[in-house]
Structure 1
Amino acid sequence: MNVAVDPDVISKGEFARRRGVTPGRVSQWLSEQKITGEAIVGEGRSALIRESVAVQQLARRLDPMQMTGNGLGTRLAPVTAQATAAAASAPAPPAAPIDALPLGDAPQAGASRPDGNSLEDRIKRERLAQLERANRDGARQEAVNAGLLTDAASAKQMVGRATAQLITRVEGALSEMATAISAEFKLPQRDVLHLLRTKFREVRAAAAADIRAQTEDLPTLVDFELDGVADQDETEPA
């Protein structure tokens, strides 16, 4: 095959220009084996690129997540001389009147394929999903820092430990109370201690029953809408 007259075989610089990237990026693709085999014509620095094969390899091998940001401008469709000439000679379609377009349907430059399944479309959707997740996580963390949200299980454990420590401390002080009452009123310390413990257990049981009754009607989870997080059907522990 005569490479000189094959429009599909172009220089690395021309391939970079058609893809909208720098020649250094093309060299990186070559060194990383993103472009290999039949896509390379010749050897060394003078090697040429078979465009149709190279763009197919890039579409399969480039990581969409690495093409966010500046990589969104990378064009992976072949741009041959014939296609360029045909596009230049084709008459421009008549523009629809602005008032005939539905709100939000104004034409945009560089529109993607109508089916929305091009590599650029997938990259943009993934990038948008990342930004939305970051926004949700940021709003959630701000709410936690402001004390609007907390881990219900951790809070329950902390309250339980504090309550148990308080009850243990009061029960341990009953002996000292009995001794003081016995000395003040000239009563047997053992009888006073027995009475105090009996009444304390009755009060503790009644308080526990009241608390259980009050918490039975409380929901396990509470809906709380975070500012800046829209259309989320999640329930956060408050």
Structure 2
Amino acid sequence: TPSEQPELHQMVEILAQRAELPKPRVYIIETDTPNAFATGRSPSKGAVAVTTGIMHMLNRDELAGVIAHELAHIKNRDTLISSVAATVAGAIAMLADIVMWGFIFSGFGGSDEEEEGGGIGEMVGGFLTLMLAPIGAMLIQMAISRSREYVADATGAKILGNPLPLATALEKLEAGVHQHPMAANPSTSHLYIVNPVLGGIGNLFRTHPQTAKRVAALRALAQQNPGTEQVVFAR
């Protein structure tokens, strides 16, 4: 509540005003893992969550950079975009599954003569297509998520007025997630500011760009706009 965390709520309110957004709901998650995420399919229903780990790890400017990044997700309606992408990917997987079972129960849809004339090859090709289509849809979904992170970084830097606090925050967060891994579901990892899923499928289907690339992009942005004025919070 604002009475329990007045500085955090004031920071969110000031940055929301700069982003021309209504103040989102603010949640604090009790975990040592330093991370944050935003949700809400429209600005009027937005919410920002931060962990106690991130509040302890980052200084005030870095935390402001992270919150600005999360507000950028709300402003850009990235939760809605991610939901649409996930729905499309799920629909493709479901259709592929239905068609595959249709092949099975219909005896693969071919006669003995067609099988002798190469029908088996067509059947195998059809099965491969049905198997690869959902994977392709998922890869596209992950690519969309990665691209939205770059956009949120740039928008968040504009909201704060300086890309560098977010750049240093990302470096700290990358190290922090390795020190305190979070038991996050891979299907929701796109909600976080850095990928909370380490190893295995977290590396195979990354929802976030490599942190080093994001930091490099933010530092390049700072060089391009050296005269931008950053919002200053009371110490």
Say which structure, 1 or 2, has more relative contact order (CA 8 Å, 6+ apart).
Answer: 2
Q: Which has the higher helix share?
A: 2
Could you state the TM-score of these two structures normalised by the residue count of structure 1?
A: 0.26
Larger Rg: 1
